[in-house]
Structure 1
Amino acid sequence: MAAVVLTACGGEERGSGAEAKGKSRAAVSADRATAARDAVWADIRAAVAAGDFEPPRFIAADSLLGPCEVGAVVRAGTKPDPEAVAEVVAELKDRGWRQKRQSSIDDNDAWGLERREWVLNFVAGTVSEKAVSFGPATADRPFKGLVFRGRFLGDGTCSASSTTASRRSG
């Protein structure tokens, strides 16, 4: 996938296959960015399933800070079992995410992971509902579960896809 993202940076020659089929460079870059975002969603789904949690609820693109971000939550009702959370982290690592940091504070554990030009922050435990709202502030009450927030740090070719993340849940 790194080649896909890097290829988007390099541009294409005139008369390339994509343009010959009627696609502009911008459309090809948007397609690649969407494919990369879809891969991050797939990784989150697989990781959550590995921990035997309910499927994640993906946050609609218009609720995020920018089109080059992904967000997902899994409401657990209680602090997630540490062994199940370890399975989530292990699956992400198996899928190529490198752990850059890990911390534990109060009632939650957090990880910072990277893969290619993406960073993924993952929190398991109790945090404020406001912290996981991904949009306008909500009542500041406890949220217990899993929270994922990813951001593309690449060349800026990421653009809003034609389908919103909210349709990709489950």
Structure 2
Amino acid sequence: MALLRGVNVGGKNKLPMADLAAIFADIGCCHVSTYIQSGNVLFSAPSTLLKKIAKLVQDRIATRFGIQVPIVIRSSEQLADTLRANPFLKMGKAEATLHVYFLADKPGTDAVNGLDAARSTPDEFRVIHQEIFLYLPNGMARTKLTNAWFDSKLKTVSTARSWATVNKLLALMQA
């Protein structure tokens, strides 16, 4: 699965999902489908292609649409691990208040330890492996726990999804 950041949000970075799916098919992916308009692409691909997919797709999007789009790749196993690892779900927090930032790279321990846990109270976050689990009782629009802040502090690229979307993506991947 590919998670694209910042497409079709607020009228910016317009990218038709049919065109996006065609790009994945053109580079050699099979069983390509998209979910909602925010850049979720489900596909299968040979292992030799997996490590190159993000770069190939980014280059084609830049050439065809003139936009730079960060892409994070996850397997169905990784997504299932993400669903099992959410500490806020285990605490009984309402699913509607939960989100995940998927990170392109695993951040270093020092960078994670340097994050300000009180940056946006009452919001909370936990970094586990290559994900940041978020509890946002006032919603994503009101938090200071943004992509830009995490990316700058952790020296990687992130893309956010609601907990409902993460669940739906895994269901689609396992169908």
Q: Which entry has the higher C-alpha Rg, 1 or 2?
A: 1
Higher relative CO (CA 8 A, sep ≥ 6), structure 1 or 2? Answer: 1
TM-score w.r.t. length of structure 1: 0.31
